[in-house]
Amino acid sequence: MSGTKITGDPDWALDADGHLINVDAWTQGFAQAIADQEGWVLNQDHWWLIDFVRDYFQTYGNPPLMRTVIGAYRTHKDDPSLGSASLYQLFSEHPIRQACRLGGLPKPDWCI
């Protein structure tokens, strides 16, 4: 996927892992374009997750742990029963990594 672009903006070049190379070029339109390409329909919860991961990354320099996202998602939904399964309902594979990709963040270079 290296060198490929997402239709919509000349700055939306992707790296080999499908992540936006120029993080400053991110807009919601980029996330929507990726989602359209993948056939995903983004709802408010998807956007909450993308925004949360982006905010966390900008504050701490790395994506949040799953446990952190789950805790925040419970608060967001006011539902203490929610667990990781609810995030996998948003993205069936690697929800945080997918949120990084749609959020214009680099692929995490760690294994956590």
Partner 1 sequence: MTIKTQPGFNMRPGSVVVLRVSPSHHRFASALECIEQLVKKGYGVWVFLHGPAVGPWLEHMPPAFVRWAEDDAVTVSVCQAAWHRSIRDASDQNPSGQTSAWVYPESSLIQMWQRILQAERVDVFGGGLWPSDWPEPKMDARGAYGVMIAYEADEADQLSQLEWVLAGSALELDLVVAFAHPELKPSRGPNAARWGQLLDHKLASVISKPQDMPTQVRFWMVL
Contacts to partner 1 by CB under 8 A: 56, 59-62, 64-68, 71, 109-112
Task: Calculate ∠ Cα 2-7-95, nearest 5°.
Answer: 65
Nearer to partner 1, 64 or 103 (CB): 64
Nearer to partner 1, 59 or 81 (CB): 59
Is 111 noted as a catalytic residue in this protein? yes
Q: Shortest Cβ distance from residue 26 to partner 1 (Å)? A: 20
> Could you give the CA distance from residue 12 to residue 29 in angstroms, rounded to a whole number?
10
First to last CA, the chain: 24
SS3 20: strand
Catalytic residue among 41, 85, 111, 112: 111
Catalytic positions are 111
